Amino acid sequence: MSILTTLRSWARQIREGARAQDYAVAFGLVALATLVNLLAWPRGSDQDGHYFALVTAVIISALRGGIVPGLVATAMASLSSSYFTLSPQFSINVTAPSARERLGLFIIEALLLNVVAHFIRNHHTSKPPGVGLWRYLAIPFAVGAATVPKLIFPELAQELPFAFNYAAVCACAWLGGLMPGIVATGLLAGLTKYLFFEPVYSLSVASQSDTIRVGLFVVEGLLLTLLGNSHANLKRFAANASARARTYVVAALNKETNSAAIRAVSRDTVWEWELETGEIVRTPSWQDRISIALPVRETFASWIERIHPEDRDTTVIRIQQAIKEGREEFQYTYRLLAPSGTFVSIWDHAFVVRGADWKALRIIGRSAEILSSPRFHQP
């Protein structure tokens, strides 16, 4: 995606806006982060530690709702830091120059995180990350790309020592998954301390503030890796679930269509008899006297009463004998009372469904009227 296309995408999103619930989530997350900071520093603090909860709120807001809710969260987080935490507390005016610089750095970092979140939301595909050692190949390129500009421009390193680090972590997580993102976070934290914090060319930390800043980046990098990787997994899950849902819908429609077609061309009535409950459920055909004579649901005893008295005992014995002998398929004929008061000749073709212990569970069959008229013999 080109820079121009990205800018157009952002402009379109700003014009269209986000859902109200995305703004509500951003406001709620910043409020929760503010509460955490007030509990941790009830009298305020100029230390970097209070930015952790605010950065987390910005990341989640941007990943969930997009760049506009992320920017709203950034603005609210900046106001929260200046009003509730930085000295003087409960005032937007920040007096300490170092605190103002750190607030400005937080704003820039939050804006970078919004950009990173935008790419996470729009550049993940349904493909899983690479496997084996190949997924670690992006680490040296991404870490180098994040470090070299700060070596060329020392002023950039002094003001923004963690610039480009977030994008490098995300790139490694996108291409390789969770573990490359974690490795990139550790390497970038070590290189940033070694090259840009006093004492330079040493991993020892001279001040508590620098320790907090490095530690904060490590936590932010790990969180960004986890969120980015989870976002990709969720998108893959959603894509797979959507594909499965479409398959199920198509299958259901096809099944309904096929059933309708079978009913349309068949003169047979299909039925299922649950032996445990004694209930018979039928799927009537499009036209026959059986469907007219019999309800869709009835009990076995009710069906027996409709059979001609001379055929009733023989039919029951035939069914019971087939079940007792362990047969899977059997046929029989009988006469059935029609609504007109006359009896029609019926032929049943039945199949016995049995369990693992060979016990009969249900009987599925079809009933056809035995016709001697010419239309019965037509192809």
Residues 272 and 231 in one domain: no
CATH number reported for the structural domain that contains residue 320 in this entry: 3.30.450.20
Angle 81-86-90 (CA atoms, 0-180°, nearest 5)? 85
Of residues 316 and 96, the one with the higher pLDDT is 316
* 379 has pLDDT over 50: no
Look at residue 260 and tell me if it is in a domain: no
- Candidate from 136-140, 204-208, 261-265, 374-378 with smallest mean pLDDT: 374-378
Number of other residues whose CB lies within 10 A of the CB of residue 127? 8
Do 175 and 315 belong together in one domain? Answer: no
Specify the higher pLDDT residue, 375 or 96: 96
Burial 327-349 (b: 16+ CB within 10 A, else e): eeebebebbbebeeeebbebebe
Which residues does residue 353 pair with via DSSP β-bridges, in sequence order? 362
Residues 113 and 186 in one domain: yes
Q: Clarify whether residues 308 and 223 are in a common domain.
A: no
Among residues 203, 223, 241, which one ends one of the domains?
Answer: 241
pLDDT-wise least confident of 132-141, 262-271, 297-306: 262-271
Task: Name the band, by pLDDT with cuts 50, 70 and 90, for residue 318.
Answer: very high
What is the average per-residue pLDDT within 126-138?
Answer: 63
On whether residue 341 sits in a domain, the answer given is yes
- Please give the residue that has the higher pLDDT: either 200 or 224: 200
| Region of poorest pLDDT, from 13-17, 100-104, 319-323, 369-373 | 13-17
Clarify whether residues 136 and 9 are in a common domain: yes
Does residue 262 lie within any of the structural domains? Answer: no
Interatomic CA distance for residues 84 and 74, integer angstroms: 15
Range of the domain at 322: 267-377
For residue 351, how many C-alpha atoms fall within 13 Å in the half-sphere facing its CB? 7
Average pLDDT on 38-42 reads: 87
**Mean pLDDT over residues 295-313, rounded?**
90
| pLDDT confidence of residue 376 | 35
- Based on the fold, state whether residues 28 and 143 are members of the same structural domain: yes
Q: Cα–Cα distance between 197 and 154 in angstroms, integer?
A: 12
106 pLDDT above the threshold of 70: yes
101 and 231 belong to one structural domain: yes
Q: Which two tokens stand for residue 372?
A: 């001697």
Residue 302 and residue 159 share a domain: no
Helix (H) or strand (E) holding 377: none
Query: Would you state the structure tokens that stand for residue 376, as one six-digit string?
Result: 């019965």
Handedness of CA 288, 293, 294, 296 (dihedral sign): positive
Let me know if residue 346 belongs to a domain. Answer: yes
- Burial (CB count <10 Å: 0-12, 13-18, 19+), residue 249: exposed
Are residues 180 and 172 in contact, defined by beta-carbon separation less than 8 angstroms? yes
pLDDT tops 50 at residue 378: no
Q: What is the pLDDT of residues 166-175, one digit of tens each?
A: 778 877 887 7
Are 16 and 81 in a shared domain?
yes
Lowest-pLDDT choice from 45-49, 79-83, 150-154, 216-220: 45-49
Give the chain's domain count.
2
The strand ranges marked E within the chain are 269-274, 279-283, 297-299, 329-337, 343-354, 360-369
Do residue 223 and residue 337 come from a single domain?
A: no
pLDDT digits (tens, 9 = 90+) for 164-210: 887 788 778 877 778 888 999 999 999 999 998 888 888 887 777 77
Put residue 216 in one of left, alpha, beta given phi > 0 → left and psi -120 to 50 → alpha.
alpha
Whether 328 and 212 map to the same domain: the answer is no
